Structure 1
């Protein structure tokens, strides 16, 4: 019997597709679904993402077929065709993308054929089956990229070896996606390369359309964006590499060297970029030496995050900040092979720390997992308590943090207790922001 997910940390497949398209400049989602879906997405993609806002032709303004009983009984393709035509007349966009809900996928509406009829007329209309039962937000992201890479990106046999594409950070599901993409883009720029991130600051739909000219795809995830990268390679002949999200000096140095090696950059040049970035980073961090030692700011910590964030964050805490991550709870639904791949990333911490890693989607189980790592005091005279502690998670983990008497910082979806604009935690500069946010909470009551 399947288990239910208590207080989920993601949307359904269609929600992830809508979020992905919302982050693409001038891309318009057209929902072929029931009336309630769009409203639920609008709330989840605003209030749970650091208050992102509606954006362009999104939020409560999402075009939708709002199918009813008649459409389910007799089919909703005519209603979809009508909605696409009306949206093209009313909404000014560069790309229109039909995403489908559970009902219309179950009854077998051929939404892709309907969209193709418009594309044959020269309209930039695409469609994919994104019924919510297919998976969660991450699946929706992959489905949208699969379609766009296969059918929207223009084929180009001529490659610009000084240009790369970077993806794998799921926009909006990663609440800090735009800031993180800006940081990673700037780092690769310092290696002498142009970067298409598709969803980052200053990007246009043309960056995506012309992306087949790139010489390399960089996937910043072990599990998301991999299938689209394979489709991109098969369709456009662009190879890809997989690197984890870099947070802090240790992870970012590995990131730069891995990217540099794939691009054939001399190691001496990469070392110079690393040295410059580390000098700036430690130039700021050394200012904390006195307060860190005088107030004993080292902490035990628990990390509750998705597969993209959990290992990089734990590695930063253990190898760069000198903290003690004892438990890491990864909240994604992953296959056994994906779980093994993610866990393997925890084996190379320079500090030698090996946190316990568990995979669990249910919020209330986090405390249970901590008790298995750090048993409660059973009236023993001497007891090494899990204190002082710190919790990195989502807004859902505040109750757990309060229960163990620990400060809490929201770093993963959903985030409703802080405003996020261009905040980033990736790279060297992002790690400085993370240090400010975490240590700022510790001294906040002084």
Structure 2
């Protein structure tokens, strides 16, 4: 039965696949849809670092009536002639799938001509941006990655969704820093040190790390095709304690690592965090001490932030919302660690429960601004949509816990 959904926090499947493709150097997305589909994907992000300059077939009424396959054939040819990239990924929107364009045949024509073209069904009715990211990543692993010699210590990093997760770049950089810190080689597909070469190198890794329910299909595909073991986390670790626990799992699973050097790195991360927290204790006490809090965040951040606030700061959760509708098989892990967790994408439902929770501080997106103002409490924007641009400061890892503390102190002073 259909249900009302007010102000969703994620775009459609096309958007998620488009965001992922644009975040890999060497990959060019080609949108096979009407003009508005691609434009809306860019406008959704605002200042989030995602452009709207990608090839598109720009389907018009004529193509909807008579079919747009020939238009797609033309656009694939033009794109390959103008844009320099190794792979073109054709992403379909709702109109193209509803009229039944044979996209696979057009992509096969291009492959027969010697071009590397991947086609992917990403109509908006297939799911949210998270589903689009999941579909793109799984298809990329299954259809573009080939076997290669194992590289000792190489670890695949999967989880943050480009552009949809507001701090994705910062989270990938922090995860890469941490994995390198324990003596391993990070392999991020996205970001400044990712790219098509990193995507293809996923088959050579010793281990994959999945930090989101939406990257689980990709790491399982890597395991099925290439026998690469993987470990899974219910989300990003936040703070030195949770980060250290995850790094210990990674070191144990990765094999030949200098355990003493890894232990020294983990201990230094904890020492660094403790130093900064000690210097903030009086400030936090002066601002109200232990507080009750509400969280409305996707699964990438929800668990880690709740654990950091509860276990490191001693605060109490008043309301917890996970807003990305994670697959049912992943919810039990979240529920084991999060008391009274709710799953909702609906802004009205979230605002109503937070408003009645008595929370003294809110962690969410810019959509929570109204309810935070109504409660007269600080709002920390950790997720999209947000007015906060974050290129290098995320909320995951050891440094992410300190970034969160900075945001708490600043927002509390301004409240």
Give the TM-score band, short-chain normalised: over 0.9
1:247 and 2:217 equivalent?
A: no
1:344 and 2:336 equivalent?
A: yes
1:53 and 2:45 equivalent?
A: no
- Look up the match of 2:411: 441
Task: Please report how far the alpha carbon of residue 89 of structure 1 lies from its aligned counterpart in structure 2 after TM superposition.
Answer: 1.3
Kept in 1: contact 2:205–2:228 (CA 8 A): yes
Q: Which runs of 5+ in 2 are unaligned?
A: none
The alpha-carbon distance between structure 1 residues 307 and 294, as it changes in their structure 2 partners (threshold 3 A), is closer
Q: Secondary structure at the residue paired with 1:122?
A: coil
- Look up the match of 1:236: 226
> d(CA) in 1 for partners of 2:17 and 2:394?
23
> d(CA) in 2 for partners of 1:397 and 1:189?
36
Give TM-score, length-normalised by structure 1: 0.88
Moved more, 145-154 or 295-304: 295-304
Kept in 2: contact 1:257–1:267 (CA 8 A): no
The alpha-carbon distance between structure 1 residues 149 and 313, as it changes in their structure 2 partners (threshold 3 A), is same
- Look up the match of 1:41: 41
Task: Please report how far the alpha carbon of residue 111 of structure 1 lies from its aligned counterpart in structure 2 after TM superposition.
Answer: 1.2
- Look up the match of 1:206: 197
1:359 and 2:343 equivalent?
A: yes
Aligned pairs for 1:14-413 within 5 A = 14-45=14-45, 47=46, 51-54=47-50, 58-59=51-52, 61-156=53-148, 158-221=149-212, 223-243=213-233, 244-264=235-255, 265=257, 268-346=260-338, 354=339, 356-370=340-354, 374=357, 386=358, 389-413=360-384
> d(CA) in 2 for partners of 1:66 and 1:188?
43
Kept in 1: contact 2:151–2:206 (CA 8 A): yes
The alpha-carbon distance between structure 1 residues 125 and 177, as it changes in their structure 2 partners (threshold 3 A), is same
- Look up the match of 1:10: 10
Task: Please report how far the alpha carbon of residue 150 of structure 1 lies from its aligned counterpart in structure 2 after TM superposition.
Answer: 1.1
The C-alpha deviation readout for 1:79-130, integer Å capped at 9, x for no partner, is: 1010011111112223211000112112222212311221233322211111
- Look up the match of 1:351: none
Q: Secondary structure at the residue paired with 1:258?
A: helix
Task: Please report how far the alpha carbon of residue 324 of structure 1 lies from its aligned counterpart in structure 2 after TM superposition.
Answer: 1.8
Kept in 2: contact 1:366–1:400 (CA 8 A): no
Task: Please report how far the alpha carbon of residue 202 of structure 1 lies from its aligned counterpart in structure 2 after TM superposition.
Answer: 2.4
Moved more, 254-263 or 173-182: 254-263
Match of 1:414 among 385, 390, 393: 385
The C-alpha deviation readout for 1:278-336, integer Å capped at 9, x for no partner, is: 11111222111222234434321100001121111100111112222221111122444
> d(CA) in 2 for partners of 1:359 and 1:328?
9
> d(CA) in 2 for partners of 1:165 and 1:53?
24
Task: Please report how far the alpha carbon of residue 420 of structure 1 lies from its aligned counterpart in structure 2 after TM superposition.
Answer: 2.1
Task: Please report how far the alpha carbon of residue 188 of structure 1 lies from its aligned counterpart in structure 2 after TM superposition.
Answer: 0.8
> d(CA) in 2 for partners of 1:89 and 1:297?
61
Q: Secondary structure at the residue paired with 1:328?
A: strand
Moved more, 231-240 or 158-167: 231-240
The alpha-carbon distance between structure 1 residues 43 and 284, as it changes in their structure 2 partners (threshold 3 A), is same
- Look up the match of 1:349: none
Task: Report how many aligned residue pairs link the two structures.
Answer: 413
Give TM-score, length-normalised by structure 2: 0.94
Task: Please report how far the alpha carbon of residue 421 of structure 1 lies from its aligned counterpart in structure 2 after TM superposition.
Answer: 2.2
Kept in 1: contact 2:155–2:185 (CA 8 A): yes
